[in-house]
Chains A and B, each alone.
Chain A
Amino acid sequence: MHLRQLAILILGLCTQLSTPYMLYKGLGVAANTHSPIVGVLSGSMEPGFHRGDLLFLWNRGDTRVGDIVVYTVQGKNVSIVHRVIAKFGGGAEPLSVLTKRDNNQGDDRPLYAPGQQYVDREKDVVGRVVGTVPYVGYLSLVMEDYPWAKVVLGGLIALSVMA
């Protein structure tokens, strides 16, 4: 009997971990993006978004000029949250956008990879910002800067489930 009771205990622990993960993945599938929730890294979009804000992304539907999108720079593992200021293609050619930070006079071209003129809507854009929660994103920033924080967080979650 103790074996079954142990099995129930372990199942409870596993479910506590797997349910938030599957919810996150479900959100990603619905939003058609691998990262439906991101944290703002810099103050380039102030006063709209501040460092540490949490952003909700949606990757379906049209992209309009003026939308704020998250994109990754080709060849680099960096995500940037800036505004779309121009659109090109979209018919026979794939849709490309030009982005610019709100706090800068010039566009983002200096940030792109060498030779890259535009951001590919299909391949590089993670999603369009549809919602934000202030301050909460600091947690993800800390985990980016200090990877050991992820281990600590995981440990804390496990402990809280056991108690």
Chain B
Amino acid sequence: MLHCLNSNASGSEMTVLERQRATIKWQHNNNHHQGYSSSSSPSPSSSSSISLVQVQSSSPACLAAGAWPKLDNNFLMGFTSSPSSGFPLPPPPPPTTSAASFDLNSAISRTSSCPLPSLAEGKETTTPNNKRKTDKFHNTKVVASDNDNKDKRVKVAAPNDSATVGKKGTQDCGDNSNKDNSKVSEVQNQKPDYIHVRARRGQATDSHSLAERVRREKISERMKFLQDLVPGCNKITGKAGMLDEIINYVQSLQRQVEFLSMKLAAVNPRLDFNMDDLFTREVFPACAASFPAIEMSPNMANPASYLHFNSSQQIDAGINPQDISLRRTISAPVSAPETFLDSSCFTQTLPSSTWEGDFQNLYSVAFDQARAASFPSQLFTGLLEPSNLKMEMEM
């Protein structure tokens, strides 16, 4: 059921030739309106993928029955993604004005009120004539999808104002436009009335199954994010394999947490957290694993200096500024000198167990002594400057 937009034209007399001419005119207009369409849809696929057909119900008299199939081919050729192919689709018409320029208006019906959403996951489709579902076109924006891929297309019912053109269409356009296996174009309009979903040939048309499809594809997208999180998931492409990996990973993480908490409980009586104020202030991203690599070399470099660590004055020599910096945030407040020592203690103990035992006692001694002393804050500031840079690099 097509709506005769241009009431002037006597649709019933439309010939094929006129229709063809009209399509050429559309191409012209499409080029003219290229800016329009591209502005409305910044996605790269817009030129190829915009396929607005606003088809509304109209009087059947507008269209000769026999002319429809032919029209359909011409009409739908515009869906092809190759922009060079002269996209006969009309650009979104400004309300009722552009319609007059087309002779074919009567045959190809558009709604004047709904402009294009540049949706389409830009693939081509030439809907087989026998599968055309006119009622699905009702008041929706058609999104072309890949003919090969037998995916379903999702059309979003557009609100009647033209302001929302293309705003949301670009959301998913860019992602899938160049894929061979096109995805369903799910466009969420700003004011979604409802989502029209069109079943592909051979697929179930049940609304439930279509909705399930949409959901499933959303889930697959999410799984891709998870691939980055879970180590070792990059090579796995299957959903089942990935799920396995994820499950294993989560289980292992949880077991680790349990084990570590038990360990903490075991050493609880011996907890020594006087440097806890350090952590309450600024704690680095707990790259506990990365710390050994970073700190090992500088610390090993001057173990001897630690032995002389008897007085506070030697702190600047003994404490590796990098150690401090690694535990400090960039703008480490120098108001709490003790915490610097804390950090150094931490950093010493953190990396490895080999020399940890050596220095731990040492530092506990030094720590107490250092606490008593009051350090000039400038000292630490100076120490921190270069190490901040270093820290940033390593971070």
Q: Do A and B come from one complex?
A: no
Chain A residues at the B interface, C-beta cutoff of 8 Å: none
